[in-house]
Every structure is written in C-alpha cells, then in structure tokens.
Structure 1
C-alpha cells in the first residue's frame, strides 16, 4: 500500500512559487505526516494559515513551523510575496432584519454577535431567543439559517448535541419528600460528573456497533474516550435531578393529569463532541477567512471532505448524546425497578437541514436553542431552584421553528463569584426545599434570568404542557472547571 504523501503540487496550490521554498515546505510537511504528528488535511490547513500570517503563527505553534515562517518572512522582505489562495470573505454591508424575542432581557454583546452573524455571505435568516447571551461566534440562544451546503462548527457549539431528557415515573410527586434519602442515593450511585469522569459499566453500548465510528481519523481517535464516558454528565451547567412534574389534563399522551415524580438531565456529547468541535472549528477558521469580528463563524462546505467529515461526526455526536442520557435514565429506572410512563428529549447545539416557510432549503444552526416545529415536544429548564417546562412547538416561521433552551445567564461566572453571597443561595435552596449535591456560586439561581419572563417572551413559539420543579439536584463538584 502506497504511503500517504503531501506533493509539491499541493504545496504550490497554497500559493508557494519559489522552488527552494516548496522543497522546504515538503520536507517539513512530510516529516510531520510520517511521524503522525498531524494528518494530511490538518498539515495543509496549517501551512495555509502560516502563509496568511507567519509572525504570530510561528510563535503560537511552539516552533513546529519556525523555519518555514522565517523563510516566508525572508521572501516577503525580498519582495517575493507569497499570497494566500483564499481571500477574506467580506461581510454583507447591510444588516438584515431578524426577530428578537424578549429584547429587554438580552445584553448588547449578544445582539452585536447576532448582527455580525446575519452579515455572513452565507447567512439566509436568523433569530434571537429570549435566553440569549454572549458566546463565541454565534451567541448562546442564537438561531442562524445558512445556505444548505454550509455548516459553521462554532455556530453548533463546543458541546455538540447538548440536550435535555425527562423521564416521568408513575409515582406521586410527594415521593421526593417521602424517599429523599433513597432517591439521593440512587442519584449518587448512577451518575458521574467531572471533566474526566467515566462509567464503571454500561447498560447498553450498542451505539458503538455503528460503522460511523470508523468513518474518519478524528472519530477513531476519540472513540475510546467516548466509550468510557458513556453515561456521564460533565461539568458547568450540566445536571441530573429529581423533581415534581405537574401535567395538565390531556397535554401528554399516555400521562393523565396529575403530579408525578420525574427525572431530568442536561448534558451533551462529552469529550467526544468537544474534540470534534475543537478540531473542525480550528480547521474552518483556517479554510474560510473572515474579518476578525466574524472569525469564529468560519464555515465548512458540505461538498468538501472536511465538511462531510464534520457532518458525519456531528450527527454521530447527536446519537451519542442521546445514548448518554438513556444510559443514565435506564440505570436509574432499573434501580427504581420501574419503567417510565414517558420519556421526552430534545437537543440543542446542533445543525439541521430544513426548509424555510418559503421552501428555501437551509442549514439551521441552533446554538442553545430548542427545536420548536409544529407539534414538536421539548424541555426548557430554569435553574436549580426555579421550574422548567415541557413544551410543544407552534412552528413559528419567524423564529425558524425555534425556542429558548433555558432561562439564560444573567451574569458571567466570574461576576457570580464576585457578587453572589453564599448565605443567600443557602436560604433560597432551603425555602424551595432543594437538596443540592455539588455545584458552586457560578450556578446559583441568581445568575440566571427570570424563567417566567423568558417563557412569557416566547408565548408565540411554544405551548406549555407541564411544569417541572427541581428538588434533588446533582451537579459537578465546585472544584471542576465548567465545560458547558
């Protein structure tokens, strides 16, 4: 079998014309390839980035490309400029209108990020949900429809396919008071939190029989980590909690009106999703050049190898995130010796191929936004002491069939540590009869917007079917670095 190689013509295609420089680039590139420091696709992207700007590049890369960067600088000083083949994609001059739900609840930074996103040359439509706050590239709570063959890794997010999952049990809500210690014990025995947390055993690992786990080098590299972390919940705002669910008459099929014990979880695709997001976000920013204010919104074309690889990996991360929640819920259900009456789930931080109301095919990125197509069920949580809601989408075309994914942060984590008083949090939890395991001040109820105001701002987007009140909440230990 012939060994993979980076050819002189491939280096020349990057914009290198000087023969000695081509030979130098080839020697370094193929050395990295031979010793498996990087794969071919990444090396070519790295070389292209070097050509675009060698000074900061060489400093950031710890010397791997130092000689190449120096050569590029020498050629430029001699007037032999190496021009990158990929020009900067200019933003649209006009800022298209987009709906903003609950604008009085949204910070200026999030609005500005959405305005930048809607100026992308590939942008078709956008919307901002009432829980929106500033993030990287697309704001959290931002919905962006782009041309159908483009996808933006940073508009999907770092925690790909982060999702909600709710299991409703045929037990009265007061079980959470009658059996507090037992329910807390079951939670502790069957959940795992933390950056490197792993499961000791799996209830169902059949997902790993899918051939997609062999589809790309990046997926293969992360497979073992994904397997070990199946059934774990990460850090930051991720949680697994028992609570009281109040269901309206006829709202949920198979669940009569009443008050039930329910289990709610929030987490995503763990280290697998984070690894995929990091690799392809970096690659997109090297392949698609944008002005500085929009650099994190770099996209991949689905008709390219990189775009297809990311699409496969993103969808696999969606399946994995769902299986991750099922693992947690199934273990707890078995410990309860009960099967849930109903399980509801939805994910955010994802991209879907959809059509706008006028029939235009688009790629819809929902970064911290819940799918809310007509009749689609979803879950919108509040905070550790405030209610969450089971909702049914109304299929609002203006919002691009979307709703908020939660209450949304009112302040940053740093601000929370500086301003929130621990005794006030303790008093709040005591008043609401909340048993808390883990978490710190950066996840205190006070750091989140008023969930009732957020829900009122999106009454045109969803109908409320049931209310979930948290009672026994488990999150990562305070020492853990947030990864949400």
Structure 2
C-alpha cells in the first residue's frame, strides 16, 4: 500500500482550526498510520474532532485532543534570581562544576528544594549525585538517560573461600551467563510479565521498542555497569534478612533499562526542550508539566523503564542462581536514576535522584565502591535535608577521558593483583583509581545512612572496551 500523504489543508477542510493542532495531528497520523488509506485517516480525525475530551488519555490521539481542548503553552522561561533551599554533603570533595550545575537547577521556576550527595560530579542537566524536588513537573535529564539504573545484590550461604578455591568455575559462570553492551544478548530469551504492560500497547514510541527490550532482557549496559561475585560481611546482628553476622558469597549487579530507557529519555527530552525553552546553561533541565499529555506519558514510560530495569536484574540473578544451584538467602535492590512522588515539607513534590540512592528511614540500599573497594549495604535514616537520599557510589575522581589519558594498563593490572580481583572485560576509564575514596564518601554521609554490611568484589565482569 502506498505511503500516506496528508497535508494541513486536508485537516482544515474537515473542520480543524488553524494552529499547532494541525502540525500535531499530521505528525501523529504519519507516524502511526503511514500505510493506511487517507480517507480512513481523515475519518479517524473527524471522530476525534467531534468529541476530543473522550480521547485525552489515548496514546495515539491524546496529544491531538489536548491541542483541541487545552493547548500546551510553549514559552521561554527565565531562571529565578535566587536558589531554592539546598544542602551539599562532603562539599570540600566535590568539584565546582557539579556544584554550579546544582545551583542552576535550583533557580528553575519549578524547583522547590535540592541536595548534592558526597559522590557528586559533573553530568548533563543535574550533576551526578544531584537531588531535586520540583512542583508537578518532571525533568527527563533530571532522571538521566539510563532510566532506572539500579543496584541488585543476592546473598548466598556459600563460604567465601570458594571464590578463590574454585575461581575458574565462578569466572566461567560470569562468562556464560552474563551479557554486556549493545550487541550481546542471551540465546535463550524468557517471557516476563513486564511485556504484558499496557504501556507497550498504548504508547506508540514505547510500542516500537518492545522487540528490542525483549531481546535485551537480562543483559547489562556498557560503561560502569557490571556483574560480580564478592564477599559479603553482615555486621548488623539486627539485620532485616535474619541472617547471622558473618561472611557470605554475594552477586552484585549494576545496570539500567538498556535501549528502552535510552530511547525514552531521548524522545521526551526533545519534547521537553521544545515545550519549556531555557537559557543555554540550563537547556538540559527542560521539564514536562505533569498536567500535560506528554508529561503523563513520560511518567508512565519512565516507570515502565524502571520496572524493566528491575526485571533485567532479576533475570541476571536468576540465571546465576541456577548456575550456582542455590537459592539466595536474601536480595537487596534500589534505583538511583529515577523520579518519585514524595512528601517534602508536607507537600507532594517530584523528587529526582540522578545518581542518588533513596534513603528514607528504614529503607535498604546498596552503595558500591570500586572494583577494589568495598560497597555498602545501608539502611536509610530519613534525613530531610538530603531529601531522604544518599550517594549512589564513590563517584568519579577522574573523568573517563582523563582516566584513559593518565592511567596505564600495567598500573591497573598491578592494583587488581594487589587486591586479589579478577577482571573480565572493562577499560581504563573504569580503573579503581578513577574513583573517589569510598570511605571518605561514607564518612560524609553518616547522617544519611547506617551500615548493615559490606560487599567486597573479587570476580568482576564488565563490557569489553
């Protein structure tokens, strides 16, 4: 069938008012019905025009209906002269570029409060380690490109001595049962309830990503994403797992929502930048109003991507549990690139955590170090000045570029050997020396979390650079 040809005058002829709705409707039809007959498409548009309120929540026609009923007002925004209230933790160990990024975000008209965690460093939009509470608006770059990037830890009743005594066996498990980067996927795919979600049917751009998401389930991204075996030390005898104090083998994974999240982030960031233009220094902080069709759609897509990221981790851990022939004693997991609706000073706000761990009172989380430094199982203290947040790791000391320029592979190999760490894959940009001292970071957030236990990496798998 021939490709659909549709022009603005065709819509005006059936009664559509001149204005932005014409462009929105033409673009939507050419995207979603490009192989349908023109008369059928025009009939669909007539039906929407007759009763637009009925279609406000529709994935395909909702934006057209919104433009007919209550068009989104696009206007350039200026930054406020003053900053919203904020707190910086470990300020002396954070570079000025990251602080200035937070200061810019705090001047947004929608900003209500903010914080910067002690692992903070420069990013896009919000700094990594940045937390921002906004009024009824979500910032796609405040969530991050890797939506739902998260940690997941399984604890096994296996003696840590097995990691050295049977090292080759554990190395082989990671090589056989983990996949990394843009092209590696598992040969055997599994069904998952996530693919029955309505978002995969009702949001057109998400629907197109379903096949890719299905193929990538259970795989990890590149960069600083990893799956590793290590030694867990439980030191809190009143832990939530009911596990005796002592040492165990653990599996720790770090990854996000893969191509699904990256494409959602790209699509809605573009829409946000079109709808809320900002001064150049703040352009990546463009937001979507949650009262608009695009804002609601992003919120649904973001939550889908977060749940998909969780499903990826569960599949990774399922595969390794099967290879180990063991069931884990317990599992701990948390997002650290996401936005939540939370109460802040008695008001419901949108709390963005871009590289920050949720740390509400009693909530468990994982803060990794580097491949030669321990990570920490933590329990949140619910510290209001941090917006109930903590760091998401040690934070970068060297940028990826500087790490590649300044570090040698022989230096890295020596450090790994000294700490008894076996590395599969990885690049110089992920060298242990590229990261801050995790112990200093933890010391700078003693008000925010208490330590339940530690995880020390021993066999690490990353993407091959």
Q: Above 0.5 in TM-score?
A: yes
Quote the offset at 1:303 in angstroms.
Answer: 1.5
Q: How many residues align?
A: 421
In structure 2, relative to structure 1, the CA distance for the partners of 1:4 and 1:467 (3 Å cut) is farther
Partner of 1:13: 19
- Retained in 2: the 8 A contact 1:5–1:30? no
1:27-426 to 2 correspondences below 5 Å = 36=34, 86-147=74-135, 149-248=136-235, 249-356=237-344, 358-426=345-413
Cα drift, residue 5 of structure 1: 7.6
Do the aligned residues in 2 keep the contact of 1:254 with 1:342 (CA within 8 Å)? no
CA distance in 1, matches of 2:31, 2:158: 59
Residue 203 of structure 1 deviates from its aligned partner by 4.8
User: Would the aligned equivalents of 1:102 and 1:130 in 2 still touch at CA under 8 Å?
Assistant: yes
Unaligned runs of 5+ in 2: 36-71
Task: Tell whether the 8 Å contact from 1:204 to 1:327 is kept in structure 2 after alignment.
Answer: no
C-alpha displacement at 1:197, in angstroms?
A: 2.3
* Matching residue of 2:45: none
Structure 2 length as normaliser, TM-score? 0.86
Answer whether contact 2:199 2:207 (CA < 8 A) is retained. Answer: no
Q: Residues 286 and 452 of structure 1: is their aligned pair in 2 closer, same or farther, counting only changes over 3 Å? A: same
1:468 aligns with 2:455: yes
* More moved, 244-253 vs 188-197: 244-253
Residues 118, 435 of structure 1: alpha-carbon distance in 2 compared, 3 angstrom cutoff: same
Shift of 1:10: 7.3
Find the aligned partners of 1:3 and 1:362 in 2 and give their Cα distance. 44
Q: 1:34 to 1:122 in 2, by over 3 A?
A: closer
C-alpha separation between the residues in 2 aligned to 1:85 and 1:310? 18
Following the alignment from structure 2 to structure 1, what is the Cα–Cα distance between the partners of residues 89 and 221?
30
Query: What 5-or-longer segments of structure 1 have no aligned partner?
Result: 16-21, 38-83, 479-484
1:99 to 1:85, Cα distance in 2 relative to 1, 3 A: closer
TM-score by length of 1: 0.83
Q: Is the 8 A contact 1:90 1:291 kept in 2?
A: yes
- Separation in 1, partners of 2:217, 2:110: 36
Q: In the aligned structure 1, how far is the partner of 2:168 from the partner of 2:404?
A: 30
